[in-house]
Amino acid sequence: MRKLFYWGAVAAVWGVIAVAGIVAYYGMQLPAADTWAIPDRPANIRIVAADGRLISNRGKMGGEAVAIHELPHYVPNAVIAIEDRRFYDHPGFDPIGILGAMRINVSEGRFPLSGHGGSTLTQQVAKNLFLTPDQNYGRKIQEVLLAIWLENNLSKTEILELYINRVYFGAGTYGIEAASQRYFGKSARNLSLGEASILAGILKAPSRLAPNKNPEGAASRARLVLNAMAEEGFISQSEAEAAAIDPNKRIRTRITGTEYYVADWVETLMDSYLGAVEKDVIVHTTIDWELQKEAEFLIKEIIRKHGEERAFSQGALVAMRPDGAVQAIVGGTDYTKSQYNRAVTAKRQPGSAFKPFVYLAAVEGGYGPNTMVDDSPFTYKNWSPENATGKYNGRIQLRDALAQSSNLVAAKLAIELGPQNVVNTAYKLGISSNIQAVPSIALGTPEISLLELTAAYAPFANGGEGIIAHVISRIETPEGEILYSHIPSGPGQVVAPQHVSQMNDMLSHAIEVGTGRKAAFGNWPVAGKTGTSQNNRDAVFVGYSAHLVTGVWLGNDDGSPTNKVGGGSFPVEVWREFMKKAHSNWAIAQLPGADGRFDRVPLENVGGQQAVSRQEPQRRSIGDLLTDLFGG
């Protein structure tokens, strides 16, 4: 017996030495302990609407970090109850838990330290921060060493905070705030007991128990969490029963709406505003949440009602104040199916919605709304444009030519004034896409984005000031330090007030009697222009009041023709309903220059000819000038 005891003691000593050697071996493969440091959490970009409502969180984690003291007490308690009941008692690893897990794993034929791993919260933090997910004895030993180091250098509260802000909750979300926003559309600061139990329950198998994919499984797991909380004394059994979620009722999760198109756009702008984002920031946007959701509803509804019958499947909307502050951006009908932003990124032909730039070049060159022009067929260098209706009106006033969207008059103007002059006018108003200086631009053949097209109409609404469309009003840290604040800027006066007045006269006329007449609502003075590209591939309407400029596009991503959808049909309908909503609480205001006179407009250097000056409407027609210039 004495020998047995002796050799047992020797074996135990050597066992301890062997274990110490193994621990030392794997410990030596780690960097020196004095170099260990908690890696910074990737920065979060919190994007909010003008009223502070969350649009989206962007960044690798999908949400901001929250302090333990900001959360309801049952949120961290739910995590402890189901993940590590002895969290406040162990030194970083839990021998009892490890032995129990090894027994279960061996009995189930698995690797002893896999599956039911017996890892403490501290060990999971160590693994997530410092180690790879490989499952082997060496990594487990290193995990324990790092967990002990964490316990010696951080408080339990700090360790728990690290855990809940970095652990994976499924659906691409890391951290309790991102998960709460993703699944419940609210901050983790406002979680209910039942919701907290669902999130804590996800941690066992995030991909399998995420409530958006498996609400019944998530609810069932949540009940286990609640019972564990009751057993630990965190809540009473009656509270657990009251908070339990009926597994037969689906858990309502946050819907990915069109505001995510806004978030995508904002995210692409961050480099130009701040450079690399290295700490959490809050981006305040100019987006009006109510108008954003109204725009989303209207675009989806018009396609639901008429899309299949009239062969169009996509839509976009841009709304901004006359100073360029964007109020709403709808980049498509369903962000979850397509993240392609048809309002900001896509470039399509605006059709006749481009004509105001031609007409502005004309009024700046001497024309006026009363000028008589010739709406009749012509041929220029083998090009013979036609009106969409196939009809011609002969001599008509310039305002009527624009209202009726005469292709012939627009083409003759572009030729007479010079295509480059038209291009320069479009650029002056803010168009940034490359435009070829050819006569056909008068018919809206350039490809430009809805955002830049809508912004180019803003000078007509604000009295002639050039604008830069913007969506970010302020960027600050969570502590309130201002990193960026929007300062009004732009090219200044780009259109003379008298020319703004003339354009508003004609574009208002286009709504009163022309192709955009369905856009009128209430007693509001509004103006705008329809646009339809060749074969009805794109249907556009851009219009404005003194308060808001809005553009609408409908069509198909592949550029296939619609079933006779024009700018004066469904785009105008969407525009009118959106503007009615937007203007419901605003006082009626006149467009700039509404009382202007148009009886005298000088003509200078038209078509390279000698400058002349005359009274309206006795000036020569475009057809007469074309005869002089081109011989018929």
pLDDT tens digits, 521-562: 999 999 999 999 999 999 999 999 999 999 999 999 999 999
Q: What is the arrangement of strands in the sheet containing 538-544, beginning at the earlier edge strand?
A: 326-330, 314-320, 549-555, 538-544, 527-532
CA distance 28 to 42: 29
Share of the chain above pLDDT 70, in %: 81
CA distance 381 to 300: 44
Listed ranges 28-42, 82-96, 416-430; the one with the highest mean pLDDT: 416-430
Of the pLDDT bands very low, low, confident and very high (cuts 50, 70, 90), residue 598 is very low
| Domain residue ranges of the chain, discontinuous segments joined by + | 1-30, 61-243, 352-447+602-632
- Spatial neighbors of 153 by CB under 8 A, at least 6 apart, are none
pLDDT the model gives residue 314 = 98
pLDDT the model gives residue 297 = 97
Q: Which residue has the higher pLDDT, 329 or 108?
A: 329
Give yes or no for a contact between 574 and 315, defined as CB atoms under 8 angstroms apart: yes
User: What tokens appear for 306 in the block?
Assistant: 């008429």
Task: Name residue 279's amino acid.
Answer: K
User: What tokens appear for 357 in the block?
Assistant: 């730039």
Q: In a 3-state reduction of DSSP, which class is residue 172?
A: coil
Residue with tokens 């400058």: 611
pLDDT tens digits, 479-531: 999 999 999 888 999 999 999 999 999 999 999 999 999 999 999 999 999 99
pLDDT the model gives residue 102 = 57
pLDDT the model gives residue 546 = 96
Under CATH, to which class is 352-447+602-632 assigned? Answer: alpha beta
pLDDT tens digits, 201-236: 999 999 899 888 888 899 999 999 999 999 999 999
Distance between start and end Cα atoms, the chain: 126
| Mean of pLDDT over the chain | 85
Please list the active-site residues.
Answer: 83, 352
CA distance 154 to 478: 23
pLDDT tens digits, 449-490: 999 999 999 999 999 999 999 999 999 999 999 999 999 888
Of the pLDDT bands very low, low, confident and very high (cuts 50, 70, 90), residue 265 is very high
Q: Which residue has the higher pLDDT, 103 or 24?
A: 103
Q: Which residue has the higher pLDDT, 186 or 421?
A: 421
pLDDT tens digits, 117-160: 568 888 888 887 775 555 555 566 767 777 788 888 889 999 99
| Residue 331, CA distances (Å) to 182, 314, 318, 363 in order | 21, 9, 9, 34
User: What tokens appear for 84 in the block?
Assistant: 């590590």
| Residue 625, CA distances (Å) to 49, 358, 414 in order | 53, 17, 12
CA distance 392 to 213: 60
CA distance 317 to 326: 11
Under CATH, to which class is 61-243 assigned? Answer: mainly alpha
User: ∠283-284-285 over CA atoms, to 5°?
Assistant: 110
Burial class (CB in 10 A: 0-12, 13-18, 19+), 44: buried
- What is the enclosing helix (H) or strand (E) of 162? helix 156-166
Task: Name residue 493's amino acid.
Answer: Q
